Amino acid sequence: MSQRRWSLAALALAPLLALGACDQLGDVWERMTGGAQVEGPGPTPLDDVPLDARALSGSVQPQAEMAALLAPEPVLVAPGQILVGAQVERELAETATEMGLASNFVRSLRAEGTEALEQLPENMIGQVRARAEAEASQEATGAAQDTLRRLGISGEIRVRPGGVVTVDLTQSVSPTAYRRNKQPVDQTAADIPDAIQWNATDRCPRIVSQAQLESDIALATRCAIQRLAQSGDFEYVEPNYIADSGFTRPPRRDQPPATTTPPPTTTPGTTTPTTTTSPPARVGGAPNDPLYALQWNYRPNGTGDGASPGGAGFVSFWEAQQLGSRTVRVAVLDTGLDLSHPDIQGAGNVTSGVDLINNPERGGDGDGVDADANDAGDRCGTTTENSYHGTHVAGTIGAAATNDRVGVAGGAWDVTVIPVRVLGRCGGELADIVSGIRWAAGIAPAVGPGNTQIVNRTQADIINMSLTIQAPCPASMQAAIDAAVARNVVVVVAAGNKANQAALYAPANCNNVIVVGANDARGGLAFYSNFGPQVDILAPGGDVFADSDNDGRPDGVLSTRATTSGCYDPLNSNSTQRCYYSFLQGTSMAAPHVSAGLALLAAQTGLRGRQLEDALFTRALAPHPDNFGEIECARSSNAIPISTGSPTCARPSGRGRLDLTRAAQTLAPVTP
């Protein structure tokens, strides 16, 4: 996942980087192609494509900034926002009785809970579940109102699909309380969605007055959660945590030289850039995308020509004519998708999605939930830029058209990407993420303007979540993940970027997920990657503080992301007004490699769910060498000594790294 407080992607072209950049990229292209002029597969010479199809952003970052990336950050919650779980399972048996179902089935429901529903036809399961959720949610609503009344405050209570009931206390608290509890950042407070720091160990005083509650939103939130939990009327009670994509939104201090023509005032997502593209040729091998030569992450793992020590072997799979299938659907729960991007518009790999951000202030698009998943921006303060994090993640999975002589390649040439917008300005709220999981899995519709239902008729096979919450796995999130997995959905999540134990961060600490850590271009554990027993697999996440192949560019992951910061033309090193490709680093970048790998395996084998997950670990996993991830204890305060008193510490990082070359070796070429 990309980092929050670091200057990395879409930043300025350093003068030193500019010198000789064209020659360096030419050398890379020569190594990739052996000097041949490739007509079909293989990177297209840069001078044969328009500027929009090749300009990029990103430079090697100063080593001095690395430490700031790993600094602890506060846990934030939406003030006055509480999630309570209706006791749906308890209601199932009563619902079945009311519907006249057989008594032996009712007994099974009481004994086994949701698992007993498998005895029913598919259409009947939905009816029983929906009715039980409605009745349980109604009971939870009444119980929540009673508890708040006894506390002496009022709240707006809403029912969301899946038995999630949200409590909003903001109407009963003075507006001055928000200003006093604003998220502490160096930006204009009025330009940032409300947030408060959260400490789970803080307790509500035994005696608290109504005046205290009305003047302190943090106190009101804490007391309401404590009293709701003590009532015993709910499956769970938890704050509405704010998740982080991990992208750093630095002040836009790294701009092209002052002599450069100022960039246009329009933003990505509102314009349609002019490009010349041709229909992709369905031939495998190295694609002809002009910036593919800089995508070390797709190369076979190794040290020879055309290989990379950190590569995940995608090109080996492509060479076997395994390019994916549009029947495989990957939902990307993130910031949305820049639908005007020149490598995405008209690509055919993207289907309609949804914007599930309820709070218009956080959404930044002037409305709430609707069917428009276009990335309207997620900047955090007036002096920072939008991350377009979801567009970068989706581009790696396959939203970017591949082998079209434009920009970059995606991991799965053919796939269906479903954008689900759950992250907005300064992050995303837990309630929206939970709704996103259920919507993506086809479990529950979204409710748009005028109470219209937005139904996902293309259930995802894979869900990618490149986001983190520094908290134990929220019960609402775990319930949604479990429900998705029960529908044969594989859930892929980022491990987090604090060089810390993944067990401290959700959804990496949830059950029924594939947790992805990051390796760098050298093949080692990326310096920022979280680790620990929760991590299942490593994949390319990059390192923008390094340039291990000496090509003048950072070892980040290059993918789709529009910006006007630090753009340059790799053909001649000149600064440009805007560009559509950026280097990023993080476990956010690693997770989509695994999602793309799963999509390729699903297309090749027809497997889904647990069987697909098993195929990943049996066919596309390269075991770690001995002593992998070990580090001097003095360099990692969060690692664990390999033995008592040892100066060497271990950072467990899964069973191995993603390597699709291994899976490709078992394939016979398929006629396209």
Residues with active-site annotation:
334, 389, 588
Residue 341 and residue 560 in contact, taking contact as beta carbons nearer than 8 Å: yes
Runs of H (alpha helix) within 524-608 = 587-605
Euclidean distance between CA atoms 64 and 277, whole angstroms: 41
Produce one character per residue of 163-172: b if its CB has 16 or more CB atoms within 10 Å, e if not: bbbbbbbbeb
Euclidean distance between CA atoms 664 and 610, whole angstroms: 20
Residue 357's contacts (CB-CB under 8 Å, 6 or more residues apart) are: 363, 368, 369, 421, 422, 423, 424, 428, 429, 432
Euclidean distance between CA atoms 334 and 161, whole angstroms: 20
Residue 157's contacts (CB-CB under 8 Å, 6 or more residues apart) are: 141, 144, 145, 165, 166, 167, 168
Produce one character per residue of 415-443: b if its CB has 16 or more CB atoms within 10 Å, e if not: bbbbbbbbbbbbbbbbbbbbbbbbbbbbb
- Comparing CA positions, the residue from 296, 322, 256 lying closest to residue 547 is 296
- Comparing CA positions, the residue from 292, 376, 367 lying closest to residue 334 is 376
- The position carrying tokens 């939104």 is 249
- Comparing CA positions, the residue from 506, 433, 521, 503 lying closest to residue 469 is 506
Please provide the distance, in angstroms rounded to a whole number, between the alpha carbons at the two ends of the chain. 34
Euclidean distance between CA atoms 363 and 342, whole angstroms: 24
Residue 42 CB coordination number (10 Å): 21
Instruction: Identify each DSSP E strand in 138-292 by its residue range.
Output: 156-160, 164-168, 196-197, 237-243
SS3 of 184-211: CCCCCHHHCCCCEECCCCCCCCCCCCHH
Residue 98 CB coordination number (10 Å): 13
What is the residue type of 196? I
Maximum Cα interatomic distance, the chain, rounded to a whole number of Å: 80
Euclidean distance between CA atoms 375 and 451, whole angstroms: 23
Euclidean distance between CA atoms 175 and 463, whole angstroms: 38
Q: Please report, for residues 106, 108, 436, 484, 577, the alpha-carbon distance to residue 114 in angstroms, rounded to integers and kept in the order given.
A: 11, 9, 21, 13, 56
Produce one character per residue of 101-120: b if its CB has 16 or more CB atoms within 10 Å, e if not: beeebbebbeeeebebbeeb
CA 95 to chain centre: 37
The secondary element (H helix, E strand) that includes residue 81 is strand 76-85
Q: Show the tokens assigned to 652.
A: 């467990």
Helix (H, G, I), strand (E, B) or coil at 166: strand
